[in-house]
Structure 1
Amino acid sequence: MIPLPEEHVPSWPRTLAGDGPGKASRQIRKAVEADLPEVLRLDREAFPDGPYPYFVLRQFLDALGDHLLVMDDGDRLHGYVLATPPHHASSWILSLIVGHERRGNGVGRELMTEMLGLLRAEGAAEIMLTVDPANETAVMLYHHLGFSPWGPLQEDYLGPGEARLRMRLAS
């Protein structure tokens, strides 16, 4: 079994307390079609030079919808995580995005914990991801969740000048 920060079997929607005085409660749930404009907004905010196009997000929802989780406070989305379902007990985290206004408040950890619980419940024994090695906050989050580097740094993994650190969580 994949170790998680807490023993947890996911069920959706999952309501979480607000992350401060006067903050609305939040919910982690599976994405629906109406979420796509907000998912696109988050993607453009995180990757202004290369967000996923709307049609790709639409196809991800259709093909991987059970593995596209969003953090919602009732007014807007504050993050999402997208993964592949396990295939031969292996899965990939394709994207983890947290809106700028919620970074540092545990949103990424909560989304990842939910997704890791889902993937574990579906039989994943190995979960892989890639991360920009310059994104120290994300690298640290993944380390805290039990991921470790896997192979050498891939200098042009996503094209020229687009280095990625491959990380893996294995049981």
Structure 2
Amino acid sequence: MHHGVRPTGPAGMSVRSATEQDLSELVRMDHRLFPDMPYPYFALRQLFELYRDRLLVLDHDGELAGYALFATTADGARSWVLALGVVPGVRGLGYGRRLMAQGLRRLADDGVREVMITVAPGNAAACGLYESLGFVQVDHRVDYFGPGADRLIMRMSLPGWHIE
């Protein structure tokens, strides 16, 4: 079951599942969004093959303006948010929240019970967004992504979750 997207903000902005034709632009955008730790093309390609129905893009009149990637464990009980990013020109307008909400709705429809995410300890904007969606910090891991790349681990329970 797919949920409709309510038009808000700039005209022509919508959330949709990624397509194979999006991959090259998705990789370029990922390198802009996460210059210190971008996904290589081959990794995004493989993640697309595994999780294409849960790889959502923010489409602005045919150009990508953000994306979110959700990966669910084989037992279907837990999903990890592997990426969430919005390009600088449209940050602060609620599109990260919109990508997350759409993804969380799809995960809830899938019967996923909990969602996990990692966030850099200094990223107050991301922490605020995730907390507003119902995530709580459950761990602080030193060197989680390698030396000097600490991460907060956040978790939310999906049963009973809803968003306006």
* TM-score normalised per structure 1: 0.86
Which AA in structure 2 matches 1:161? Answer: G
Alpha-carbon distance, 1:88 to partner: 4.4
Q: 2:109 aligns with which of 97, 121, 135?
A: 121
Greater than 2 Å deviation, 4+ residue runs: 14-18, 85-88
Q: Secondary structure at the match of 1:45?
A: helix
Number of aligned residue pairs: give it.
Answer: 157
Query: Aligned runs of 1:56-71 on 2, under 5 Å?
Result: 56-71=43-58
Helix, strand or coil at the partner of 1:78:
strand
- In structure 1, the gaps of 5 or more residues are 1-8
Q: For residues 6 and 12 of structure 2, what CA distance do their matches in structure 1 show?
A: 6
Matches of residues 86-101 of structure 1 in structure 2 within 5 Å? 87-101=75-89
> 1:84 is paired with a residue of what secondary structure?
strand
1:163 corresponds to: 150
State the shift of 1:49 in Å. 2.6
Give deviations 1:89-147, integer Å, cap 9, x for gaps: 11111111111111101110000000000001111111111011111100000000000
Question: 1:54-109 deviations in whole A, cap 9, x for unaligned?
Answer: 11111111111011011102231111110113534111111111111111011100
Matched residues in 2 for 1:115 and 1:56: separation?
20
Q: 1:50 aligns with which of 28, 37, 51?
A: 37
Out of 123, 126, 132, which is 1:135 matched to? Answer: 123
Query: 1:16: Cα distance to partner?
Result: 3.8
| Identical counterparts, % of pairs | 42
- Normalized per residue, the structure richer in strand is 2
Q: Please, what is the CA RMSD of the aligned residues?
A: 1.5
**1:17 equivalent in structure 2:** 7
Query: What SS is found at the alignment partner of 2:145?
Result: coil
Post-superposition offset of 1:150: 0.8
Please say if 1:107 is aligned against 2:123.
no
Q: Higher RCO, 1 or 2 (CA under 8 Å, sep at least 6)?
A: 1
Contact 1:98 1:107 in 2 (8 A): yes
**Helix, strand or coil at the partner of 1:17:** coil
The one-letter amino acid of 2:56's match is L
Q: 1:48 deviation in Å? A: 1.4
Q: What is the TM-score when the length of structure 2 is the normalising length?
A: 0.89
